[in-house]
Amino acid sequence: MLLLIPAIPLAGAVFLLIFRAKVGRFAGAIASSAIGGSFFVSLIAWSELLNRPAESRAVGGRVFEWIAAGSFHADFTLRVDPLTAVMLLVVTGVGTLIHIYSIGYMASDERRGTFFGYLNLFAASMLVLVLAGNFLVLFLGWELVGLCSFLLISFWSHRPSAAAAGKKAFIVNRIGDFGFLIALFLIQKTFGTLDMVEVFARAGESPLTGSLATAIPLLLLLGCAGKSAQIPLYIWLPDAMEGPTPVSALIHAATMVTAGVYLVARAHVLFEQSLIAGGVVVGIGIATALLAAAIAISQDDIKRVLAYSTVSQLGYMFVAVGTGALSRSALPYVAGIFHLVTHAFFKALLFLGAGSVMHAVGDETDMKKMGGLRKALPVTSLTFIIGWLAISGVPPLSGFFSKESILAAAWEHGLPWIWVLGVIVAGMTAFYMSRQVFLTFFGESRVAADVHPHESPPVMTRVLQSLALLAAVGGLLNLTLHHGTLSKWLEPVFTSGVHIEATEAATPLGLPEVVVSAFIALVSLAAIALAYRLYLAPGAEKARTRLKGSLGYFVRLSQKKFFVDELYNSLFVWPGKVVARIAAFGIDAKIIDGAVNGAAKAVGAAALRMRMTQSGLVRRYAMAMLTGAALIVALFVVRVR
């Protein structure tokens, strides 16, 4: 039955891609019902888990023998445990909503059939990824989602920027996948199998030692950093916004980019083998969160702000799962997955809202040319505001709870500095999101005169409303980290392996939890107030100019994205191109082609002379045959003697 979950969207994808020219306006309905069916089956799987006792909540197993070569065996294994169930419901649930939204968004695109085919293919691949019970199956899904990401980013491939963005995403992901692949080789060599249950059991029984214990998780982390857009491989995600907006919402915000977080959580036993690995995960996470937030502050493109925000929030999740690996306890992982879920809700909502805005103003993405859209887009603006408050961490919306639990987990497990930086990032997040909302929906209209903003069709606004509801009440999933529903549900997954009992709840300065939460919420509110002062309040212009005077250097750096792209260009892209040029026009054209062509020329020249022996004279051939026969006979005679 588990096979049905990815098989339904896969069937949809195959059908849509074969009949892409014929399905016409039914493409969206077909794709949506395929992923909806998958959601339904996921619900059944989830309820099956629910009926079992907490310790034995895992179903599934070998579907068929996939690869058997000598001593190497890899089975196509699908498994569902509480963690997978959460991912399944997020992927299929949010996925279904975004599929439905796309019906409206892509209504006038000629290549709808292809688009929905890719979208379904992505859903199938992502479901294989989260269902995988074997590292190789996971890798299969991992590569397939990368492929779909490439196909969908460059969906409008007639735009050079879209084609380049797709290429960039693919290449950067390949770098990460390289690390992943080496990690798989090491796992196979160390444990003799790629089956997750066995690998984790063996790693839990006899912990790895030496460099292997660090190498395997760090190489896995490289793959995670590629997929989840963490330093140093985050650069592809902002460019990925070239794709259609529902793609950004589904793949580059809600689901695919969380694959890295999922993998760290899934392979937590391996990450717990080495303190260095956990530390690196936390470090990368917080650094990415800070850097991306610092860039997001000054971006003017409505989707780019959200893209950097996604990178930043993914950094948050990495901090959480890294804390779990560092302290070998379950609750930080739960906090990370909780944030993954709520982030899927509100970030999908924000992206789809941004898509609705772009729809309204004629595909304009520059926020400087928006403003005052609140009146023209009542539903979009209201839902967007809910998403904004959720991501900013304003209670009682979902983002507040999930962010708070990550920070609480960091403090409890002895990472006070991470807590401080995390609070700073929370403030920055609230600031740039407020800036975005104020620039887009409030203030005076700066929309071009010939554009008349209009609300999107109901098929889109209904989805926005559903997601807004989820973003608002998502916090109910886990009201407190120590006693929440999600914590109870997920904890058994993370208690295997090397595990230390969770410490007693500890808070900064020993203050009650409520006070700390209130403080974090206050930071967010203060950041929102600051954004209001700088972008909306009377005299905002003057305040901005004054601030630019003192912080101009930082603003310019932020606008230029800290020159990371330029740095990579001169460090890797440019030398790579030089090497490729030498290889193509020097080595390949001269040496390799020279050898091949030279051999052919030599044979040709020899043949020109040799062919004169073929005179056409029968008697000459007969003479040659006779001479040959006589020689052979003579040879025999001599040998016999």
Q: Enumerate binding residues for other proteins (CB under 8 A).
A: 611-612, 614-619, 622-623, 626
Q: How far is the CB of 600 from other proteins (least distance, A)?
A: 19
Distances in Å between the alpha carbon of 66 and those of 8, 63, 73, 74, 77? 20, 9, 8, 6, 9
Closest CB to other proteins among 448 and 626?
A: 626
3-class secondary-structure state, position 51: coil
Q: How far is the CB of 584 from other proteins (least distance, A)?
A: 39
Omega into 244 within 30° of 0, i.e. cis?
no
Closest CB to other proteins among 69 and 618?
A: 618
Q: How far is the CB of 633 from other proteins (least distance, A)?
A: 12
3-class secondary-structure state, position 230: coil
> What token pair was written down for 433?
């999101």
Cβ(348)–Cβ(282) under 8 Å?
Answer: no
Q: How far is the CB of 611 from other proteins (least distance, A)?
A: 4
Cα-only R_g, the chain = 30
Q: How far is the CB of 605 from other proteins (least distance, A)?
A: 15
Beta bridge partners of 134: 195
Give dist(CA 641, CA 638) in Å, integer. Answer: 5
Q: In 3D, which of 85, 155, 169, 170 has the Cα closest to residue 127?
A: 85
Phi-psi sector, 76: left (phi>0), alpha (psi -120 to 50), beta: beta
Closest CB to other proteins among 52 and 620?
A: 620
Closest CB to other proteins among 583 and 630?
A: 630
Q: Angle 447-453-455 (CA atoms, 0-180°, nearest 5)?
A: 145
Closest CB to other proteins among 158 and 611?
A: 611
Closest CB to other proteins among 483 and 609?
A: 609
Name 502's Cβ contacts closer than 8 Å, sequence gap at least 6.
329, 330, 331, 412, 482
Q: How far is the CB of 620 from other proteins (least distance, A)?
A: 9
Residue tagged 């002895």 (tokens)? 414
How far, rounded to the nearest angstrom, does the alpha carbon of residue 64 sit from its chain's CA centroid?
28
Give dist(CA 89, CA 131) in Å, integer. Answer: 12
Q: How far is the CB of 607 from other proteins (least distance, A)?
A: 10
Q: How far is the CB of 635 from other proteins (least distance, A)?
A: 19
Closest CB to other proteins among 503 and 615?
A: 615
Give dist(CA 137, CA 193) in Å, integer. Answer: 13
Closest CB to other proteins among 589 and 610?
A: 610
How far, rounded to the nearest angstrom, does the alpha carbon of residue 86 sit from its chain's CA centroid?
17
Closest CB to other proteins among 587 and 625?
A: 625
Beta bridge partners of 72: 69
Q: How far is the CB of 614 from other proteins (least distance, A)?
A: 5
Query: What does DSSP assign to residue 73?
Result: E
Burial state string for 170-179 with b = 16 or more CB within 10 A and e = fewer than 16 = bebbebbbeb
Closest CB to other proteins among 500 and 622?
A: 622
Closest CB to other proteins among 514 and 612?
A: 612
Q: How far is the CB of 148 from other proteins (least distance, A)?
A: 58
Give dist(CA 106, CA 49) in Å, integer. Answer: 37
> What token pair was written down for 193?
């199998």
Q: How far is the CB of 615 from other proteins (least distance, A)?
A: 5
